[in-house]
């Protein structure tokens, strides 16, 4: 492909370094090798951390204006390279190209916003309760940040973490997903062109267990920010405890999407299609369980099936609606979940099989009669399947929605304002979409309740996770 190099190194201290081994990056569409990346062993990972620590000492002394200007250069370069980056995202993740374009814009918006927020780091001055004293706080960058990102948003998850950390005055060592590392490595190139000083943004790839262990136990690293599975999040949290690292986790979800009887059904279906099928259902805020009021469920199913019939499945580069799943593991999970639901009495209303294209494709699937004991109800499906549950009472649907260890995103459609307020109060979720299937914006404090994670990213407070607060009491008398 013209858009990417045949080989990529590790980015350490502003230089591309050949690692001790390498790894092939595959296209999930056809399993073909699209590029080769260097991987780091323990010593190389530690060297990257040491360089990052060294860079922090000078970067944290750059003025806010200076950091902001460099980030604005970075933003402009990402926008200028939109086409190239979108192609790479689609080639390594399989997502449809139109979604990759949206991801580049969404990911770039975090850089622009962080550049602006770098100029607005402020703190509090208090009226002292006693005479002759000044009480105030100051903010300082937390230190070296380790960022570990998932495959499903190869660009936006990187920029959401890295641009806020860098804007706050931190240096970063990134470990992107081994499934989609090239987008991140291209961002690394652009960061150098934008004027990031050497060592402010380092990228290492390699065995996640080995690198994860280094990043979560090394004393020079003061913060870990992770987006990925709950299982790995818990491991990082445990490992980080030995050095009491500050940690932000954005983990799995099990989003309910609720259609009340008074909803505009056509609008609800539009919102649902967006919340369900983006990235073939492989996002942490994907609608994972569809709850529909009994009085409208038959008509809703008919309308939904009509929409499912119109979805084009195929090569993401050809503007299809649904691309391949990311891996064999992901496909096996979907097959297992659907099989488990069928065995326990669910009804397949549409789809239910691997797609005739073969490979990692799965049919858009609607499953009704879903019960609490089924995997499709309890677990994150991460695929183009819709487990549907009918309900009759508001309390019943809210209790069922909350009946999960997760608490990331929830969606509901209604025109009734009293129901809106009750639902906002009662849904145990960090982010709620009302009459909308889209909640992603740089203004969203992205994150979840319960086992969906700790902390928030983006929003007005996007720099806070990367800043420490110092309190000062000054007796000036
Ligand atoms: P997913 O199932 O969505 O791929 P993972 O949690 O496995 O979620 O992956 C998210 C990120 O975590 C990836 O960058 C992956 O390489 C990394 N990762 C996987 N295992 C570990 C580990 N043991 N320690 C640190 N990072 C890990």
For residue 367, what are the β-bridge partners?
A: 348, 387
State how far Cα 67 lies from the chain centre: 24
pLDDT reported for residue 124: 96
pLDDT reported for residue 430: 98
Structure-block tokens of residue 458: 């983006």
* Reported confidence tier of residue 2, pLDDT bands at 50, 70, 90: low
Residue-wise pLDDT tens digits, 331-354: 999 999 999 999 999 999 999 999
Burial class (CB in 10 A: 0-12, 13-18, 19+), 32: exposed
Please say if 250 is a catalytic residue: yes
Kindly give the distance from the C-alpha atom of residue 82 to the centroid of ligand 1, in angstroms, as a whole number.
Answer: 26
Q: How does strand 172-175 pair with strand 201-203?
A: parallel
Kindly give the distance from the C-alpha atom of residue 181 to the centroid of ligand 1, in angstroms, as a whole number.
Answer: 13
pLDDT reported for residue 395: 98
For range 138-163, the mean pLDDT: 98
Residue-wise pLDDT tens digits, 21-80: 999 999 999 999 999 999 999 999 999 999 999 999 999 999 999 999 999 999 999 999
Dist CA 72 CA 196 (whole Å): 11
With a 6 Å cutoff on the Cβ, whether 209 touches ligand 1 is yes
Q: Which of 45, 60, 449 is nearest to 213 (CA)?
A: 45
For residue 24, what are the β-bridge partners?
A: 36
Of all protein residues, whose CA lies closest to atom 18 belonging to ligand 1? 208
Dist CA 172 CA 144 (whole Å): 6
pTM flag (> 0.85)? yes
pLDDT exceeds 90 at position 159: yes
Residue-wise pLDDT tens digits, 100-129: 999 999 999 999 999 999 999 999 999 999
pLDDT exceeds 80 at position 392: yes
pLDDT exceeds 70 at position 438: yes
Query: Which atom from ligand 1 is nearest to the alpha carbon of 229?
Result: 6
Q: 164 and 466 in contact (C-beta within 8 Å)?
A: yes
With a 6 Å cutoff on the Cβ, whether 210 touches ligand 1 is no
Dist CA 200 CA 14 (whole Å): 8
All residues at 6 or more sequence positions from 117 whose CB lies less than 8 Å from its CB, including other chains:
164, 167, 460, 462, 463
Of all protein residues, whose CA lies closest to atom 7 belonging to ligand 1? 229
Which run of H or E residues covers position 73?
Answer: helix 64-80
Please say if 462 is a catalytic residue: no
Residue-wise pLDDT tens digits, 393-402: 999 999 999 9
State how far Cα 142 lies from the chain centre: 22
Of all protein residues, whose CA lies closest to atom 21 belonging to ligand 1? 208
Dist CA 88 CA 90 (whole Å): 5
Look over the chain and give the mean of its residue pLDDT values, rounded to a whole number.
Answer: 97
Structural Rg of the chain based on CA atoms: 23
Catalytic choice (99, 284, 380, 462):
284
Concatenate the DSSP letters of all residues of 315-381 into one string.
Answer: -GGGT-SB---S-HHHHHHHHHHHHHHHHTT-EEEE--SB-TT-TT-B--EEEES--TTSHHHHS--
* Reported confidence tier of residue 3, pLDDT bands at 50, 70, 90: confident
Angle, vertex CA 46, rays to CA 156 and CA 152, nearest 5: 20
* Reported confidence tier of residue 1, pLDDT bands at 50, 70, 90: low
For residue 225, what are the β-bridge partners?
A: 147, 248
For residue 246, what are the β-bridge partners?
A: 223
């Amino acid at each position: 492909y013209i858009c990417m190099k045949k080989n990529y190194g590790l980015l350490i201290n502003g230089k591309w370094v050949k690692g001790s081994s390498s790894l092939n990056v595959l296209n999930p569409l056809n399993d073909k090798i699209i590029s080769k990346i260097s991987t780091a062993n323990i010593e190389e990972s530690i060297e990257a951390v040491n360089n990052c620590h060294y860079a922090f000492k000078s970067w944290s002394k750059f003025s806010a204006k200076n950091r902001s200007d460099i980030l604005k250069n970075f933003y402009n370069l990402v926008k200028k390279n939109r086409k190239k980056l979108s192609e790479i995202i689609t080639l390594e993740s399989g997502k449809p190209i139109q979604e990759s374009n949206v991801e580049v814009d969404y990911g770039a918006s975090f850089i622009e916003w962080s550049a602006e927020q770098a100029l607005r780091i402020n703190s509090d001055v208090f009226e002292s309760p006693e005479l002759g004293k000044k009480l105030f706080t100051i903010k300082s960058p937390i230190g070296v940040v380790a960022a570990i990102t998932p495959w499903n948003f190869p660009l936006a998850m990187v920029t959401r973490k890295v641009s806020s950390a860098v804007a706050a005055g931190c240096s970063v060592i990134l470990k992107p997903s081994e499934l989609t590392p090239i987008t991140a490595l291209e961002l690394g190139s652009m960061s150098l062109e934008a004027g990031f000083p050497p060592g402010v943004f380092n990228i290492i790839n390699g065995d996640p267990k080995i690198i994860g262990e280094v990043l979560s136990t090394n004393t020079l690293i003061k913060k870990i920010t992770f987006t990925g599975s709950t299982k790995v999040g818990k491991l990082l949290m445990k490992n980080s405890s030995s050095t009491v690292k500050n940690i932000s986790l954005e983990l799995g979800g099990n989003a309910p999407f609720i259609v009340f009887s008074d909803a505009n059904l056509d609008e609800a279906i539009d919102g649902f299609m967006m919340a369900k099928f983006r990235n073939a259902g492989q996002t942490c805020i994907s609608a994972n369980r569809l709850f529909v009021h009994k009085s409208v469920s038959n008509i809703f199913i008919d309308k939904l099936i009509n929409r499912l019939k119109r979805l084009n499945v195929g090569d993401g580069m050809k503007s299809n609606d649904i691309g391949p799943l990311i891996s064999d593991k992901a496909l096996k999970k979907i097959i297992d979940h659907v099989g488990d639901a069928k065995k326990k009495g669910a009804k397949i209303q549409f789809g239910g099989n691997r797609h005739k294209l073969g490979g990692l494709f799965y049919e858009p699937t609607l499953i009704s009669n879903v019960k609490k004991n089924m995997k499709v109800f309890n677990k994150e499906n991460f695929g183009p399947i819709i487990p549907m549950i009918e309900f009759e009472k508001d309390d019943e649907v809210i209790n069922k929605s909350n009946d999960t260890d997760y608490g990331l995103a929830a969606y509901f459609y209604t025109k009734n304002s009293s129901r809106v307020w009750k639902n906002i109060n009662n849904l145990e979720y960090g982010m709620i979409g009302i009459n909308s299937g889209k909640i992603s914006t740089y203004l969203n404090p992205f994150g979840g309740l319960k086992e969906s994670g700790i902390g928030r990213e983006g929003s007005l407070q996007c720099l806070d996770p990367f800043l420490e607060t110092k309190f000062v009491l000054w007796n000036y008398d």
